[in-house]
Amino acid sequence: MEMTEEPVVSDPKILGGMPVIKGTRVRVYDLAASVTAGIPRDRILAAYPTIEEHHLDLAIAYAGANSLPRQIRHKLPPWSGATLVKSGRILRRKG
């Protein structure tokens, strides 16, 4: 099966160029981090109603193959390096 459109897009006009699932404002790295953190897929899908199950696998593959671009990494807020526990509390800060 050949895909005719890119499922992940990066446009400076959308969230400052962060890679998102096409047609949404959902950041690929947020989805990948949620799955990697062990958050149940049904909970992630409930939080992002425009996302479908296959987007989660796509996000993991994309994030694994593409590191966060340097020009975007420096724009992130200082708390973005925090390690979060499932309850949402900050466990520790990185960097």
How does residue 70 score in pLDDT terms, banded at 50, 70 and 90? low
Task: Classify residue 29 as left (phi > 0), alpha (psi -120 to 50) or beta.
Answer: alpha
User: b/e string for 17-27 if b means 16 or more Cβ within 10 A?
Assistant: ebbbbeeeebb
The reply to whether 30 falls in a domain is: yes
How does residue 3 score in pLDDT terms, banded at 50, 70 and 90? low
Residue 74 CA to residue 48 CA, distance in Å, equals: 26
SS3 for 33? helix
The reply to whether 1 falls in a domain is: no
Whole-number mean pLDDT of the chain? 78
- The range of the structural domain enclosing residue 53 comes to 8-93
Tokens 């400076």 locate to 12
The reply to whether 33 falls in a domain is: yes
Residue 35's Cβ-count burial label (10 Å; 0-12, 13-18, 19+) is middle
- Convert the pLDDT of each residue in 15-58 to its tens digit: 888 999 999 999 999 999 999 999 999 999 999 999 999 999 99
| Residue 5 or 13, more confident | 13
Let me know: does 72 contact 16? Beta carbons within 8 Å. yes
| Paired strand residues for 21 | 8
The reply to whether 43 falls in a domain is: yes
The reply to whether 2 falls in a domain is: no
The reply to whether 3 falls in a domain is: no
pTM for this prediction: 0.68
Number of separate domains in the chain: 1
Q: What is the CATH number of the domain that holds 46?
A: 1.10.10.10
